[in-house]
């Protein structure tokens, strides 16, 4: 009887210590990658007799982002785990490492110290995102720009986002913005971090405009993602602007909200936009320049109104 009791105690101690030993055996430093799980489903499998059941394993499918070398990459996955899996909360991630590059990932589950294997289908040039409860995918370079802007890099301990410091336009020198831009039309969608937030977290949209550079007009289409709403130009007014990346990115001064906004520009060759009776259309940049000269319209040099306005023309 004493021998049986001794064996029972040894077995009990082993069972109690097993999870601790399992966790100690896993070194988080061996899992340098990070995985953010957006969504997954799960199917639990049990075994047991006489009404007593225990969890054998859990399997399912899901969608996630992998962060490797500070680059985001979306993937779909199938998994089999010894325990239930949870989606990432907020911006948190799981430590991970490759078992087979681009085929199989091993995740470390920090609470239990166990691991879980994902069979993955990696996406090229795509990352998943979630905004205001809306789940979707976007170009990985766009998601990377967001990571940089908000200082999010979970591989290097930056597990939360830091809202960038807003630059007051009034603190900048207007002479550093020598160009002028006339926004004919745009659409904008405001995104809020919480339902209680009074101002948008970010506003994004697309539009059409003219750029005036070297007293020459040039049409452009643009997209933007800014912290404040953008407004169309009224009448002949223009915004002060400067190149961030020539022929690609323009920074615009927004005096009404005391902010700047960077737009991604798709420049047009030899054409400019014009508006007549509320209809926006393209015309030859040469013809538009002739109209500018005839009506002494040159916003780059303080001539913000035509000397002889022509009805319906801008």
Q: What is the pLDDT of residues 14-68, one digit of tens each?
A: 444 444 334 446 888 999 999 999 999 988 888 877 656 677 889 999 999 999 9
**Alpha-carbon gap, residue 44 to 55, rounded angstroms:** 7
Query: What is the C-alpha separation between 240 and 300, in angstroms, rounded?
Result: 9
Half-sphere exposure of 96 (CA within 13 A, CB side): 29
Q: Which residue from 207, 250, 248 is spatially nearest to 230, judged by alpha carbons?
A: 207
Q: Note the pLDDT of residue 13.
A: 43
pTM for this prediction: 0.57
**Signed CA dihedral, 234, 238, 240, 245: sign only:** positive
Pseudo-torsion of CA 174, 175, 176, 181, nearest 10°?
70
Pairing of strands 104-109, 94-100: antiparallel
Three-class SS state of 21: helix
pLDDT at residue 213 tops 70: yes
Residue 50 has a pLDDT of 61
CA distance 217 to 295: 14
Whether the predicted pLDDT of 132 surpasses 50: yes
Q: How many CA atoms lie within 13 A of 204 on its CB side?
A: 9
Higher pLDDT, 140 or 202: 140
In which band, very low, low, confident or very high, does the pLDDT at 8 lie, cut at 50, 70 and 90? very low
Let me know the angle formed at the C-alpha of 133 by 78 and 116, rounded to the nearest 5 degrees. Answer: 25
**H-run or E-run covering 289:** helix 285-294
* 314/200 Cα distance (integer angstroms): 32
Distance, CA of 242 to chain centre: 24
Element (H, E) at 11: helix 2-24
Q: What is the DSSP string of 144-169?
A: HHHHHHTT-BGGGTB-S--PPPPPPG
Which phi and psi (to 5°) does residue 208 adopt? -130, 145
């Amino acid at each position: 009887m004493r021998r049986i009791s001794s064996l029972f105690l040894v077995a009990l101690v082993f069972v109690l210590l097993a999870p601790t030993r399992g966790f100690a055996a896993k070194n988080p430093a061996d899992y340098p990658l990070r995985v953010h799980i957006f969504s997954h489903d799960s199917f639990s499998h049990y075994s047991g007799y006489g009404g007593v059941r225990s969890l054998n394993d859990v399997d399912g499918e899901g969608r996630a982002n992998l962060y490797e070398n500070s680059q985001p990459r979306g993937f779909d996955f199938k998994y089999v785990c010894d325990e239930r899996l949870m989606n990432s909360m907020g911006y948190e991630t799981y430590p991970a490492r490759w078992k087979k590059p681009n085929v199989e990932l091993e995740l470390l589950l920090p609470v239990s110290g166990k691991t879980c294997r994902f069979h993955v289908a990696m996406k090229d040039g795509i990352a998943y995102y979630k905004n205001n409860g809306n789940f979707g995918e976007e170009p990985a370079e766009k998601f990377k720009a967001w990571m940089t802007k908000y200082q999010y890099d979970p591989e290097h301990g930056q597990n939360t986002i830091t809202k960038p410091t807003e630059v007051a336009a009034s603190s900048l020198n207007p002479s550093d913005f020598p160009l002028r831009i006339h926004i004919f039309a745009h659409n904008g969608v405001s995104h809020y971090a919480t339902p209680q937030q009074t101002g948008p977290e970010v506003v994004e949209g697309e539009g059409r405009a003219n750029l005036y550079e070297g007293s020459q007009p040039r049409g452009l289409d643009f997209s933007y993602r800014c912290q404040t709403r953008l407004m169309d130009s009224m009448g002949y007014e223009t915004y002060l602007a400067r190149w961030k990346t020539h022929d690609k990115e323009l920074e615009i001064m927004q005096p009404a909200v005391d902010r700047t906004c960077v737009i991604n520009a798709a420049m047009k060759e030899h054409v400019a936009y014009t508006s007549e009776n509320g209809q926006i259309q393209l015309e030859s940049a040469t013809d538009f320049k002739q109209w500018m000269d005839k009506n002494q319209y040159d916003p780059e040099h303080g001539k913000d109104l035509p000397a002889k306005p022509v009805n319906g023309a801008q």
